[in-house]
Chains A and B, each alone.
Chain A
């Protein structure tokens, strides 16, 4: 029998005191590269005392916005860090809900004003990010860029909107422009008949998949070239490229559309919390009954819930991970 095991450590921003909870009613986590911020919700009873006093009196709570939170979850005796971040809001209802955000919380605390005639992504990030935040990014020229009293988070949102540069934090490092980071990708073997509790996976053949890829090339002078390749009326995907001529852009787009047009599963499945699965990891999905459907997929997002209804991870599959290109599936982890 699996035995649920949790440890939530909350460090007060005010006086540095550490409170550790070895219980919770429920923890819900959400993490995807599509949203910049990973979130956590912790539900704990209101009737808890500390030093003889209730933890929440009226509108006051010992847990406050800005307190550091570390959530470790697992099946006894193993604990894995599932979330690290900060309390962003405390809902003083009965029970108490602590809303938390990962390190992106730090990017909302100050504003910057800067102006560049031409800047590349690395310079921009090192200028705007608070000290102590390390980052990894693609090489990209952004051209003219002007910031007026905006938070670093708003800058990253602008990068996502205009340049399709997705950003996310992983282990305290900010990754910008990389949806899947091969060196961070763990590979998990998941067998449908053993590890999958429930799913809404849908099998689609390549020829039934209609994809229209909108390709945008950003020029250093901030001008754009936009083209569309693929099936007219198909599901639209957008890809951004930098400083390519129209011919080069079309060639790149034709090459990349294959990533989206594949025979395989789309959707989500639910599994247990044996090991932490991150977005960007690779799921080697297998089936005893229909081995022809075996395949490896990137993880786009994970929703975790831990509590009275057990320990579950809802895995959203992304595009197929084509083995032999970015990585090799030689060290498979049994889930």
Chain B
């Protein structure tokens, strides 16, 4: 790609649509009104999408086992890697607010941080025109597990930044998309889970 100078004043920015740039290239400001396309620093990524673009925030769930109430060992044997995924992490705090007659405002007592609320939306995509049946079934089996997804099975850089290593799935939905066969969209609502390990004189 060659470098060029563009005047963007009055270019109808409201109508401008996002454009894909190749890694290693970007746009930078030259002066008030013009921009040049030049080299910019980009994150390295170990994975690429079907388009060849880098995948920075993926979700990987490695195989794990659990025991059913009947004592049967159930195994999630393959795990899943989903490249097309977006997270939304919400943190709430447990604060008790108490109004008192005769006193303005409320007395606030901070009890603890609440769980992280995690919304994961994404799509499982197969390269051809066939439905990604195997991957979808694997994800359904993972989501059905009546345990927290263990910390050594859940791999997500984005979630790790918040200190989330294990999650409990609360609900999920799999809508069908009109006109596509090779992809299955999904949305997962989950909350964070922190195992408690006591030690002698832990405090």
Contact = CB atoms under 8 A, between A and B. Distances in A.
Asked whether A and B interact, the reply is yes
Interface in A1-31: 1-4, 7, 9, 17-23
A20 B202 CA distance: 5
Contact of A310 (B111, B196, B198): B111
B179 interface: no
Contact of B197 (A2, A20, A50, A272): A50
Given A4-B109, A308-B111, A197 B203 contact: no
A48 interface: yes
A152 B101 CA distance: 47
Q: Taking chain A's interface residues, is the majority helix, strand, or loop, or is none over half, making it mixed?
A: strand
Interface in B184-202: 195-202
B94 interface: yes
Given A48-B196, A48-B197, A22 B98 contact: no
A20 B196 contact: no
Contacts of A1: 95, 108-110
Contacts of A311: 109
Contacts, number: 75
B102 interface: yes
A145 interface: no
Give the contact-size bracket for chain B: 20 to 34
B96 interface: yes
A194 interface: yes
Interface in A74-111: 75
A263 to B, nearest CB: 23
Contact of A22 (B103, B109, B203): B203
Interface of B: 94-96, 98, 100-103, 107-112, 195-203
6 contacts: A21-B202, A48-B197, A48-B198, A197-B98, A310-B96, A311-B109
Interface of A: 1-4, 7, 9, 17-23, 45, 47-51, 55, 75, 192-197, 272, 288-289, 307-311
